Amino acid sequence: MVSRVIPVECFDLVIFGGTGDLARRKILPGLFRRFCSGQMPPEAQIIGAARSELDDDGYRQFVREAVQEFGGTHYEKDQLDQFLQRLGYETVDAKGEGGWEALKGRLRDKVVRAFYFSVGPSLFGDIAERLRSFGLANEDSRIVVEKPFGHDLETARALNATLAQHFDETQIYRIDHYLGKETVQNLMAVRFGNMLFEPLWNAQYVDHIQITVAETVSVEGRGGYYDKSGAMRDMVQNHLMQLLCLIAMEPPAKFDPDAVRDEKLKVIRALDPVEPHHVVRGQYSADEKQAGYRVHAENPRSRTESFVAMKVHVSNWRWAGTPFYLRTGKQLRARASEIAVVFKDAPHSIFGEEAGRHRNVLSIRLQPNEGMTLGVTIKEPGPGGMRLIDVPLDMSFAEALGPDGEDAPDAYERLIMDVIRGNQTLFMRGDEVEAAWAWTDPIIASWVARNDVPKPYDAGSSGPEDALMLMHRDGRRWREIKA
């Protein structure tokens, strides 16, 4: 399989927060890989903007070091030199007047203008206002905003209203990097491009669906931020919600930004309120190697969750009666993201009880080894009766994407190129964000009202025991968390 690279038109991309961690680790190395692939036109221009006092040469050295650390190894030295010549830098005061006229002087007419807000949400309004007042943005400009998109429904509405004062919804790209993953997009291709799965994609044939996003990292080093959000706000309200929408949505009339997002919005609005006994919160404990969550968060009485497991229902004709189990957490056994569609048992087994219980499971792996596996039941080879075993039909992308997937575009690469193309399909719309918060807020409010305390769990485990019971009560089991 050979990926086809489709070049984008010429552009000026301004990265506010251009010296920050996200720019260093993801945005700039990703842009360099797109340059090496030939997708970025040679005359494209990338401008870093931040408070740091740097000149063009200083910023190019910063980017050189970032690419050398995070940009992979499959490139020639002259490619990096050529890329760095496309870069510039301006010191800009996001809340003041300094640097804006100089930044405007670098922008060209008749090219796409995109502005990446790789800064905290508190600066979104200030930057958006100055882009308009200083004349940097035109009617075809695009802005890219990073999560968190608010802290709750009230702040999300206020943020959307602030951006809407200066930019049309068609110009706002709310980025969720999970939607840029190859497997996530392949999920739509598998569902809507094949006759095989779609007739079975409903409550009649699907027993339940599990969505797991497990991380091995702790919150050490960012505990102050994390303790104000928790797993529910940090992961469930956006990443897991988006995966749920793509699994549960109806086929859109066409692969068009608003058509796709309309169907995702319907899923969010069809979610039932979650009963308190259908949610488990957890907080990792200390072990021999490191401290626990409360030490990392620098809050000895913290009641913020580092783990959430929950059972949710989508009340529509397609999914009535089929539970969706969501699970995410820090300091778990392995780093793994998986969607598992567990199909129902055959209505009648002709092989007798000795054949055992066998179910088809479609496993969609988002990380670390992107791909899909369909479990099917076959006869165990050899004589001695009809013994059944489950074997996987492996649709791994490893071979197609090169060794360790290094040649695969990172999610940020794909999404930034979509911004330049003006394609919003993989970006969240304002009403979608608000609907997600409208569903999430009552769950969080109920924890506060009950003075709920997260259940402790061991680092390197699968989470608290109560999460296992959430499934056991229904006669089901979580799939093993493994890399």
Could you list the active site residues? 239
Distance CA 205, CA 11 (A): 48
Helix axes 430-450, 257-269, angle to 10 degrees: 20
Identify the burial level of 85 via C-beta atoms within 10 angstroms of its C-beta, where 0-12 means exposed, 13-18 middle and 19 or more buried: exposed
Angle at 217 between CA 121 and CA 48, to 5 degrees: 40
Angle at 180 between CA 177 and CA 182, to 5 degrees: 135
Question: What is the secondary structure of 420-436 as a DSSP string?
Answer: HHT--TTSB-HHHHHHH
Angle at 219 between CA 215 and CA 220, to 5 degrees: 130
Instruction: Please name the amino acid found at residue 159.
Output: L
DSSP annotation of 408 reads S
Closest among 82, 121, 15, 29 to 412, alpha carbons compared: 29
328 forms beta bridges with 213, 308
Please state the φ and ψ torsions of residue 339, each to the nearest 5 degrees. Answer: -110, 125
Show the 3-state SS of 78-112. Answer: HHHHHHHCCEEEEECCCCCCCCHHHHHHHCCCCCE
Closest among 46, 78, 75 to 62, alpha carbons compared: 46
> How many CA atoms are closer than 13 Å to the CA of 33, on its beta-carbon side?
25
**209 with 313: CB under 8 angstroms?**
no
| Share of the chain residues as helix, strand and coil, in percent rounded to the nearest 5 | 40, 20, 40
DSSP annotation of 304 reads -
Instruction: Please name the amino acid found at residue 263.
Output: E
Strand 45-50 vs strand 11-16: parallel, antiparallel, or unpaired? parallel
Go through 292-322 and write b for each residue having 16 or more CB atoms within 10 A of its CB, e for each that does not: bbbebbeeeebbbbbbbbbbbbbebebbeeb
Distance CA 297, CA 34 (A): 37
**285 with 330: CB under 8 angstroms?**
no
